[in-house]
Structure 1
Amino acid sequence: MPLWAPALCIASLAALALLARRWLARCFQDGPDSDRAPRLICKPSALAKYLLKTCLAVGAGSQPRWAWSGLPHLQTVWSGVWTAGAAVHFTRDYLQLADEGLVALDWAVAAAAGGGRRRSSSSSPAPIVLVIPNSFGKITSNVIKLCASALDCGHRPVIFNRRCQNGCLLTTLKLQQFGDPSDLREAVRYIRYKHPSARLFTVSESTGAGLLLSYLGECGSSSYVTCAACISPIFRCQEWFEKGSPWLYHWLLLIYQKTWLSRYTTALGEIIDMEKLFATQTLKELEEALFCQTKKSNLTWDAYWEKNDPLRDVDEVAVPVLCICSQDDPCRGDADTTLPFELFETNPHFFLLLTKHGGHCGFLKSRSSAWSHEVLLEYFKSVSEFLVTEERTKSFSKRKCAGAVNSMSYKCGRDNSYRGDAFCPHNIHEIFSWQRSYTR
């Protein structure tokens, strides 16, 4: 062996180690480059200005330092498939619906001093965070960590479980369609009845945004929700089912859904061709077998999505909705074709926070913390403070307007020719413009 050979090997190994170190530094800890800062895409409004001013995570100057920034698949798997997360205890409420169906509400509770569980009082004014998991019912590590973060901030998180998902029993021969908000509507009314003085925030994950957006669109200003947020939402759901996600995620979701459906083979066999269902090879075929080509209905694929498209009533949404998305989302696909930018640019109720990295429901700063959760909690606080300010301003303007009316009425009748039915020429609403809105 030549004398220079060992030196060449050592130099090569040192060069490889240096390259690997630089690559790992880029993947595990993103630099503070300006192009890595999140972008807030929305229609200019008073609320948008307030969020940029008060919510540090939303502001353009905020530059999150990502863990595994160059590895979106690893972020996605860690937060979605990997189930290890913060230790959170849950207590379950079963809610019987009008048609005798059953859904479950899992309340996250903090540990008591003696090692037990401490549940919040029904009269507690602490805000409630209603979490809607993905449409497949998978309770991911991301959901658990979100509940833990909300608890730490003094909120009361509760997870909404659909019929026969996550251990909820199937008591009727009916499953919840992708964008049917009827069950969620009853659950929100129940929460409102049990906690009338608490603000209600809602958060959805991934395909769970379909249910949340359907609910907000159908209910409009009667949703009882203060504000809402979506983490890595899927907007064009019909196209997503047709094109499918990368094969690994597609295969995992297909196997997971078939597994929990297999527990109800006998019962569901009365309305669904279970043999055909278990033979399906794609999520589209599975969805069709569940809701379109059943023994009691025969819907076309397009007709099904006319009823379940999450954006079908999007113009009726009456509360602020923040959507957190990443450009490298491996499940949703290319951001330019899968994100409805025109919705955020024209509708004052929708805000898109777009980051360069984050994967699908990832946005990891470390193995145990997610930047998206910090954003949501700051967003809830900022919107609440803004609405309180708006209410005070409107109340003050009303009192001022009422005082002006009384004063003008006195002046109109001071010459003793005033009659109770006389017409007053002063147009109060032209003089005092007191009506305000966060969409102005």
Structure 2
Amino acid sequence: MVSPEGLVAAAVALAGLSLLAWCLWARLMEGPRARGEEEEDGIPFLGEDGSWRCRLLCKPSALAEHLARSLGRSTALRGHGWWWPRWPRLQLMWQLLQPPRPVPGGTRELLQLRDAGLVALDWLAGPWGAAGGAGGLSPVLLLIPNAAGVVTAGLLRLGLRALQGGFVPVVFNRRGHNGCPLTTPRLQPFGDPGDLREAVSYLRCRHPKAPLLAASEGSGSGVLLAYLGESGSSSRLAAAACLSPVFSAREWFEARLPWLYEWPLLLRLKRGLSRYATSLAEAVDVEGLLGSRSLRELEESLFCRSKSRPTSWEAYWERNEPLRDADEAAVPVLCLCSADDPVRGPPARSLPLELFRSSPYFFLLLTRHGGHCGFPWGDAGRCWGHEVVLEFFRAVGEFLRAEEPRKFGGPKGEPPAFAWQRSYTR
């Protein structure tokens, strides 16, 4: 007679084998199609074997030439390993199975917003020093988690790597996310940058002389891209980077993820929302919310079927699409994407290529392998995408110092982050 423990072990083993078989089948079926859809224009970065690893797609400019030289020298683009990087679905499942990570040794600040809501800022600390002190000239790096508010191991590694490199990293936690108290019966819509705008204003006041940068992961790029578009030249950011961004959010929700990815994410979101069931009951149908069977149903329950201001799905996305004001963005933005991203979908349909060809502010680094926010490097658990993001920030700063050495320090009363915006697109 088989024991209950034996049945559980057998079920787990069967599920693991099924997942492995599904990933292998998907790899075999989609590999040729993905290779056929790779974008062939742009500036290629060659690997050690002479084949291209990445392509930089952007509008020609002085900054673009400088970035191509700087990124081309980066060892992170030379080779990414051969086994794990070529299994994006296994990478994603591993990410979804990981529990949320606490910020190591960090200091949390609760920032009260105009409507009495709260967002949390977690200042990272590590063996290279503590972050968060007022003043100073070290660049402040604002890290934005995905739309579920999960502080992943990858995001923390980026923060610690930035701390080691002389940046001051801080994690932005939306209201109700990652242990941040929910003091208002509302959450932040997908592409509403209002809370982020107040957080950026606070960081500018706290670090008035330091360049302010931002980096986002996955679906968290929606709020960052929306903020850059709405704010234009008044964004107060020096540069930004998006790892595996979701550009067309409405299509992403409507297309749905494979159930192996969607259900773990959906359950994690419901578990977080259930903690605030009493508070949210004033604004939404909590029973319908927790009974949602897809990410789209959850988004509609939260923001389209509210008791005070119901709206249609179409009207919601008119106000919340990440790229709705992309033409107004006025700071350099690096978007790091992979052709085998199982979340975003095939690059031929999901990448706004014309935006990168026409805007002097948007730069697309498209790689063959990397999955979703993974970009693994070798077998040490490192992410070459993190090295590229930090090199991008350094290259932008280097370009500005060379272009306008007198203005880079900023006119009297003007932070150095703004001094280069008028000339770098020449």
2:330 match: secondary structure = coil
Match of 2:118, as an amino acid? L
Mapped pair 1:245 → 2:257: yes
Structure-1 residue corresponding to 2:35:
none
Once the two structures are TM-superposed, the CA of residue 367 in structure 1 deviates from its matched residue by 3.9
Query: Rg: which structure is higher?
Result: 1
1:222-371 aligned at under 5 Å gives the runs 222-365=234-377, 366-371=379-384
Structure-1 residue corresponding to 2:64:
48
Structure-1 residue corresponding to 2:402:
389
Measured in 1, the distance between the counterparts of 2:102 and 2:184 equals: 34
Once the two structures are TM-superposed, the CA of residue 212 in structure 1 deviates from its matched residue by 0.1
Once the two structures are TM-superposed, the CA of residue 65 in structure 1 deviates from its matched residue by 3.4
1:7-406 aligned at under 5 Å gives the runs 32-56=48-72, 62-65=78-81, 68-79=84-95, 81-83=97-99, 88-111=104-127, 118-365=130-377, 366-392=379-405
2:86 match: secondary structure = coil
4+ runs of 1 displaced by more than 4 Å?
57-61, 83-87
Once the two structures are TM-superposed, the CA of residue 266 in structure 1 deviates from its matched residue by 1.1
Distance 1:42 1:393, change over 3 A: farther
Measured in 2, the distance between the counterparts of 1:146 and 1:75 equals: 17
Distance 1:33 1:288, change over 3 A: same
Measured in 2, the distance between the counterparts of 1:84 and 1:97 equals: 25
Structure-2 residue corresponding to 1:414:
none
Once the two structures are TM-superposed, the CA of residue 245 in structure 1 deviates from its matched residue by 1.3
Once the two structures are TM-superposed, the CA of residue 182 in structure 1 deviates from its matched residue by 0.8
Match of 1:202, as an amino acid? A
The answer (yes or no) to whether the contact 2:80–2:376 under 8 Å persists in 1 is: no
Measured in 2, the distance between the counterparts of 1:191 and 1:394 equals: 22
Distance 1:240 1:80, change over 3 A: same
Once the two structures are TM-superposed, the CA of residue 85 in structure 1 deviates from its matched residue by 8.0
Distance 1:372 1:60, change over 3 A: closer
The answer (yes or no) to whether the contact 2:143–2:171 under 8 Å persists in 1 is: yes
Structure 2: give runs of 5+ residues left out of the alignment: 1-26, 28-45, 409-420
Task: Provide the aligned C-alpha RMSD in A.
Answer: 2.5
Structure-2 residue corresponding to 1:438:
424
Once the two structures are TM-superposed, the CA of residue 322 in structure 1 deviates from its matched residue by 0.3
Once the two structures are TM-superposed, the CA of residue 388 in structure 1 deviates from its matched residue by 1.8
Deviations 1:75-116 (A, max 9, x none): 22344543598983221010001111100000101248xxxx
Match of 1:268, as an amino acid? L
Distance 1:76 1:155, change over 3 A: same
- TM-score for the superposition, normalised by structure 1: 0.79
Distance 1:202 1:65, change over 3 A: same
Measured in 2, the distance between the counterparts of 1:57 and 1:241 equals: 38
Measured in 1, the distance between the counterparts of 2:201 and 2:406 equals: 29
State the aligned residue count: 370
Residue identity (%): 51
Deviations 1:21-66 (A, max 9, x none): xx9xxxxxx9844334210011111101001112336799744435
Measured in 1, the distance between the counterparts of 2:398 and 2:105 equals: 30
Match of 1:323, as an amino acid? C
The answer (yes or no) to whether the contact 2:93–2:261 under 8 Å persists in 1 is: no
Structure-2 residue corresponding to 1:7:
none
Deviations 1:168-195 (A, max 9, x none): 0011112111111111011001001011
The answer (yes or no) to whether the contact 1:199–1:225 under 8 Å persists in 2 is: yes
Structure 1: give runs of 5+ residues left out of the alignment: 1-22, 24-29, 396-434
The answer (yes or no) to whether the contact 1:86–1:148 under 8 Å persists in 2 is: no
